[in-house]
Amino acid sequence: MAPPSGGTLPPQAGAAEDAIDKTTVRGGNPPIEGRAGAAMDSALTTIGLPVALAVIMFGLGLSLTIEDFRRIGQRPKPVAIALAAQLLLLPLVCFGLVTAFDLDPILAVGMMLLAASPGGTTANLFSHLFRGDVALNVTLTAVNSVIAVVTLPVVVNLSIAHFDPAEGGDVGLQLTKTAQVFAIVLVPVAIGMLVRRSSPGFADSADKPVRIASAVVLALVIGGALLAERENLADYLADIGLPATLFCALSLTLGYVLPRLAGVDERQSLSSAFEVGIHNSTLAIAVAISVLDSETLAVPAAVYGVLMFPLALVAGGVIRRMHHGAGRRVPTREGLDYGAERD
């Protein structure tokens, strides 16, 4: 549109051009930031999401004791390998994927937020299902959740600085927001540990119901996030579906292969695969929406939260068949330093 002779556009024309500019991104589709909308800003995400995460992290605390942290010194190799993979290798893998797929900057930051999130109680459930070393999962989840209070803000802020999303100035993790992450992750875990220490009988009896509630809550959070964006779901899956699938598959593979190459036994390597491959997507969603106030940042974690279940089931089945096909039995609990599983 040519400006009039005065050299400036009239306000109406300028507004029209701004509107055109905002809707002619990526082949004429509305920009991703606009597609997120305000639908997710509902009671489910503003109230239910923090409560849901608190339930999940409280449940984790109910299963933890100080002894879980002491086991690191008793047999550090499987813990060190899994933590190194999760804290160092996975962010690099994720960065390579989002760069290769040329993701929209805000979705790229969302993927990096997911990569920086620790494993969760869902990894413990899969480990129990496929007869892994659940006690090792508990230890890894506990340690990684504490470390993530520091590493997650670092990864997110570096990602924002690199990818420079349009709303990057509003989503950085400053000191006050980092304190919110600390509260979201550690306070419910600490309360759960105090309950176990003061009333172990109650903690034991509540452990299974809280695990079931955690699984239900996880499904509701992911389902609610996707349902709120159902009109844009096809676009999100087209943008993030393949990168999220590859990231989950690579995480599960690295989580198993690296410990095996280092001589860790099969059962603990299986546990490592689930711990490294199954991220706490509820935490990533909560940080994105409740702490960073960005619905679009939560999209990768929500999509990943759906995809990780079938992928983890396939990975567990393949690993178990490999063991049986080679004529090997998965080791039993006796003689393992990490002790008996918790049902």
DSSP secondary structure of 6-28: TSS--HHHHHHHHHHHHH-BTTT
Q: Mean of the pLDDT values across residues 10-21?
A: 42
Is the pLDDT at 203 greater than 60, yes or no? yes
Is the pLDDT at 56 greater than 50, yes or no? yes
* Confidence at residue 197, expressed as pLDDT on a 0 to 100 scale: 86
Residues 67-125: pLDDT tens digits? 767 766 777 889 899 999 999 999 999 999 999 999 989 899 999 999 998 887 778 77
Cα R_g (the chain), whole angstroms = 22
- Between 340 and 286, the higher pLDDT residue: 286
Confidence grade of residue 224 (pLDDT, cut at 50, 70, 90):
low
Highest mean pLDDT among 174-183, 195-204, 243-252, 317-326: 243-252
Q: Which of 31-35, 105-109, 315-319 has the lowest mean pLDDT?
A: 31-35
Residues 118-163: pLDDT tens digits? 887 778 778 877 878 877 887 888 788 888 888 888 898 899 889 9
Nearest to 113 by CA among 85, 88, 126, 94: 94
Burial degree of 25 (CB within 10 A; 0-12, 13-18, 19+): middle
Q: CA 195, CA 62: separation in Å to the nearest integer? A: 7
Q: CA 48, CA 138: separation in Å to the nearest integer? A: 25
Please state, for a pLDDT cut of 90, what percent of the chain lies above it: 21
Q: CA 246, CA 166: separation in Å to the nearest integer? A: 26
| pTM for this model (two decimals) | 0.70
Confidence grade of residue 249 (pLDDT, cut at 50, 70, 90):
very high
Instruction: Specify the residue for token string 């890894």.
Output: 140
Q: Which residues pair with 25 in a beta bridge?
A: 29
Q: Mean of the pLDDT values across residues 227-233?
A: 67
